[in-house]
Amino acid sequence: MGSCWSCCGEHKIEEERLTGENKKKNVGWRIFSYKELHVATNAFSEDNKLGEGGFGSVYWGRTSDGLQIAVKKLKAMSSKAEMEFAVEVEVLGRVRHNNLLGLRGYCAGADQRLIVYDYMPNLSLLSHLHGQFAADMHLTWKRRMNIIIKSAEGLMYLHHEVTPHIIHRDIKASNVLLDSEFEPLVADFGFAKLIPDGVSHMTTRVKGTLGYLAPEYAMWGKVSESCDVYSFGVLMLEIVTGRKPIEKLAGGIKRTIAEWAEELIGRGRWRELGDPRMRGELDEGELRRVVGVAGLCVQSEGERRPCMRDVVAMLKGVVGIGIDQGTSYNDDDGDGDGDESGGFGVFGAMEETYYGRRVDAKKGNGF
């Protein structure tokens, strides 16, 4: 499953920019009738379609009181679709955070299941990184950093602040939506798991997207908050580099974004990590910080990854990252170029340092 706001609806991005208008009108949710949604979406017209996925389609609409909405319409009433509908409505009804896409309402008729959200005029992060708006370069470095930090805060809320805790299970670029000001909202909770107090992990059927799945989840179905952390690490690398999570090389070989990044970092070629479409207009210090945090998040062993509270603290610079640069990256001469050295490779160096000196975000201690 995943948000399908990224593949269609190009004409919508230039529509009126709602600077928080939807949120000001009504912060609650309600039950919609099928007739209301039928009228709002112009009978679910193809012209109103924002995108389509395996579960169904998402349509743009406007209610009788002028509210712009997005309506997810499930294509079939299978037991799987019914379960995902129930999970998403339950989770969305629980969450209240500026960077999580909340529930505007739903419709549960005899043979129809629809979920209603606020409409996001800038569609998804995926559409700007790899889709129809990628060439337009709306994603400046400042916006990318804001998207990373605010999305991390949304995940921190799910993992640490809401009760019971929630594991998203499908963190990826298409599930981060962008409002009129390019503020991010993490979306699509159809695969989410509610974790009771005292439970550290669960074993379940694997859901999610190739390239973002933590190893322990992909291989054994072991799911925990740490799986979201891994996915978010991949997403951070994707945002700053503009590359896809997995790329195909000659001979059918596949290379992950982390493997690609590690090679450049090991040579001290940090600036080459930045999305070339930004033409070098980035903050190298922030780039190193994000990549350093991402390196901690994509470690193969889940227990070595930081929690989202620590991730947020490191991204904001409240605590240090603890990269042992002497192991794999050395810049003693201060020229910013770095020097090659042996060792584990930069992600391995991060792993060794972090495992030995865990961040305590509550106390504000660095490494």
pLDDT, tens digit, for every residue of 321-357? Answer: 854 433 333 344 444 444 433 333 345 544 444 444 4
For the annotated catalytic residues, the residue numbers are: 170
Beta bridge partners of 58: 51, 72
Q: List all residues 6 or more positions away from 122 whose beta carbon is below 8 Å from its beta carbon.
A: 13, 128, 138, 177, 178, 179, 180, 182
Please tell me the number of Cα atoms within 13 Å of 152 on its side-chain side. 29
For residue 217, is pLDDT > 80? yes
pTM of the model: 0.81
Angle formed at CA 296 by CA 290 and CA 301, multiple of 5 degrees:
155
Q: Which residue has the higher pLDDT, 338 or 235?
A: 235
What was the pLDDT predicted at 118? 93
Tell me the C-alpha distance between 148 and 243, whole Å: 15
Amino acid at position 195, single letter:
I
Domain that holds residue 164: 125-356
Q: Is residue 338 part of a domain?
A: yes
DSSP one-letter code for 142:
H
Together in a domain, 46 and 72: yes
Q: Is residue 331 part of a domain?
A: yes
Together in a domain, 110 and 177: no
Q: Is residue 362 part of a domain?
A: no
Q: Is residue 5 part of a domain?
A: no
Together in a domain, 174 and 323: yes
Which of 118, 138, 159 is the endpoint of a domain?
A: 118
What was the pLDDT predicted at 363? 38
Q: Is residue 204 part of a domain?
A: yes
Which of 96, 118, 140 is the endpoint of a domain?
A: 118
Which of 118, 151, 167 is the endpoint of a domain?
A: 118
Helix axes 308-315, 284-297, angle to 10 degrees: 170
Together in a domain, 283 and 195: yes
Together in a domain, 99 and 200: no
How many domains in the chain? 2
pLDDT, one tens digit per residue, over 107-142 is 998 788 999 999 999 999 999 999 999 999 999 999
Tell me the C-alpha distance between 53 and 37, whole Å: 19
Q: Is residue 1 part of a domain?
A: no
Under a CB-based contact definition with an 8 Å cutoff, are residues 151 and 232 in contact? yes
* Closest CA relative to residue 69, chosen from 126, 29, 98: 29
Q: Is residue 37 part of a domain?
A: yes
Q: Is residue 366 part of a domain?
A: no
- Burial zone of 285 (CB within 10 Å; 0-12 exposed, 13-18 middle, 19+ buried): exposed
Q: Using 50, 70 and 90 to split pLDDT, how confident is the model at 306?
A: very high
What was the pLDDT predicted at 9? 46
Together in a domain, 203 and 107: no
* Closest CA relative to residue 171, chosen from 294, 319, 310: 294
pLDDT over 70 for what percent of the chain? Answer: 77
**What is the pLDDT averaged over residues 287-305?**
96
Tell me if 73 is assigned to a ligand binding site: yes
Q: What is the mean pLDDT of the chain?
A: 82
Together in a domain, 200 and 249: yes
Query: What is the CATH classification number for the domain harbouring 81?
Result: 3.30.200.20
Q: Using 50, 70 and 90 to split pLDDT, how confident is the model at 316?
A: very high
Query: What is the CATH classification number for the domain harbouring 211?
Result: 1.10.510.10
Measured in whole angstroms, how far is the alpha carbon of residue 190 from the centre of its chain?
Answer: 14
What was the pLDDT predicted at 296? 97
**What is the pLDDT averaged over residues 205-223?**
88
